[in-house]
Structure 1
Amino acid sequence: MTNHTVITIGRQLGSGGKEVGLQLAEELGIKCYDKELLERAAKDSGLCQELFENNDEKPTNSFLYSLVMDTYSFGYSSAAFADMPINHKVFLAQFDTIKNIAKEGPCVIVGRCADYALSEFDNMLSVFVHADLEKRIRRVARKNELTDATAKDRIQKTDKRRASYYNYYTSKKWGDAASYNLSLDSGVLGIDGCVQMIKKAIEIKEERLAKNNREVK
């Protein structure tokens, strides 16, 4: 299939969202950005990559969101940016990098509020992957050789952190179906099923965009 869409994937820990993204990208012949995004953002901004890793999808507890976004237009060399808390510098650098990556062509971007960063892109499809808690516990425990209790604790802490980060920076609700174009239960559909559903959604979206463009002309 011809693809011009940038797919963003939000995910609960243990839902297999990253695997969905990787398999989707492979089948479409496009790139998948997860941790790779941090390396790219560090390079683009001139900030240390370790800062991105230490602040990756972590909630903030200082400054006002409006001040952060007001500073966005001034760039990395501005005095306002220099005085900004490091977690906000990291967010803005990632925000910029996500937009630049999307302008380069179709790809898959996992997490990091990518759906919000690309909200003005007509070719963006936002997806959230979730699953029943017990299924996620078994997956995380098996993958990381953990007890069920430890896996559950890791899931709850990670999901809480991701939700706080997303809710703060996007003014939307993490995991809420209304925040995304498509919400998929990987516990029911499996990884393959989620990939196929996304591919079908891409096909429908691109057909509608093409039709709208023809009507405008």
Structure 2
Amino acid sequence: MTKRIITISREFGSGGRFIGEEVANKLGIKYYDKEIIGQIAKESGLAPEYIKENAELSPKKGIFAYAFTGRDITGKSVEDMVYEAQRKVILDLAEKEPCVIIGRNADYILKDRDDVLNVYIHGDMPEKIQRICKLHNTSEADAVKMINDIDKRRMTNYNFYTDQKWGKAANYTLCLNSSKLGYDKCESIIIECV
């Protein structure tokens, strides 16, 4: 079956967002990343700023923040409500049109569909550090801290909501090292698989 939906999970600094955007452009399909934030905010009733900070990343406190965070009468935390809104938005987008969806556990949310290509982009630390230093105009030490912090928060969120291990090859159709392959090759491999 032809793959209509491409999900891209990625390590911070691997260029996964850039690769996804280029794949969408070359295929002439929609690209969803930060654009989803407004839809999730509308669905959840929470502020877009809150969604931007929390829809893909765990609280800075880590996994225990999920377990001990405040819950409403139904037992749901604010993070649970954000995740449910995010899930609904991603399911609706996948029904509506072919697209590339960056992060937000989309690979897991769409796991029961046959028309999804799940991609995980990772990279080697030296290249990721250089990329983050350039993009954020920061020192190498700050880049390492950003990479470690953001990836840890992505992993915690993913592991909590999916009961799977973030970055584990078995969870994805393709795992690509952007440092070894380069962005253009990653894009062409994804397009070929579609």
Match of 1:62 among 63, 66, 89: 66
Matched, 1:138 2:130: yes
Structure ranking higher in helix proportion: 1
Quote how far apart the aligned CAs of 1:5 are: 1.3
Task: Provide the rounded CA distance (Å) in 2 between the counterparts of 1:153 and 1:63.
Answer: 25
Matched, 1:165 2:157: yes
Amino acid at match of 1:47: L
Match of 1:100 among 68, 89, 92: 92
Q: Residue 48 of structure 1 aligns with which residue?
A: 47
Q: Residue 211 of structure 1 aligns with which residue?
A: none
What secondary structure does 1:108 align onto? strand
Q: Residue 72 of structure 1 aligns with which residue?
A: none
Task: Provide the rounded CA distance (Å) in 1 between the counterparts of 2:45 and 2:150.
Answer: 28
Match of 1:151 among 134, 143, 151: 143
Task: Provide the rounded CA distance (Å) in 2 between the counterparts of 1:171 and 1:4.
Answer: 25
Quote how far apart the aligned CAs of 1:108 are: 0.3
What secondary structure does 1:62 align onto? helix
Aligned length: 186
Can you list the C-alpha shifts for 1:48-79, whole angstroms capped at 9, x where unaligned?
A: 32331231322252359xxx9xxxxxxxxxx7
Identity %: 39
**TM-score with structure 1 setting the length:** 0.80
Can you list the C-alpha shifts for 1:155-190, whole angstroms capped at 9, x where unaligned?
A: 011111111111111111111111111000101111
**TM-score with structure 2 setting the length:** 0.89
Whether the 8 Å contact between 1:51 and 1:90 is mirrored in structure 2 is: no
Per mean C-alpha deviation after superposition, the further-off stretch among 47-56 and 163-172 is 47-56
- Residues 20-35 of structure 1 mapped to structure 2, 5 A cutoff: 20-35=19-34
Task: Provide the rounded CA distance (Å) in 2 between the counterparts of 1:112 and 1:169.
Answer: 10
Whether the 8 Å contact between 1:6 and 1:107 is mirrored in structure 2 is: yes
Task: Provide the rounded CA distance (Å) in 1 between the counterparts of 2:45 and 2:148.
Answer: 33
Whether the 8 Å contact between 1:10 and 1:17 is mirrored in structure 2 is: yes
Task: Provide the rounded CA distance (Å) in 2 between the counterparts of 1:47 and 1:4.
Answer: 33
Matched, 1:122 2:114: yes
Whether the 8 Å contact between 1:4 and 1:105 is mirrored in structure 2 is: no
Quote how far apart the aligned CAs of 1:139 are: 0.8
What secondary structure does 2:66 align onto? coil
Matched, 1:195 2:187: yes
What secondary structure does 2:101 align onto? strand
Whether the 8 Å contact between 1:6 and 1:108 is mirrored in structure 2 is: yes
Runs of 5+ consecutive residues of structure 2 not aligned to the other structure? none
Task: Provide the rounded CA distance (Å) in 1 between the counterparts of 2:135 and 2:67.
Answer: 37
Q: Residue 8 of structure 1 aligns with which residue?
A: 7
Whether the 8 Å contact between 1:33 and 1:109 is mirrored in structure 2 is: yes
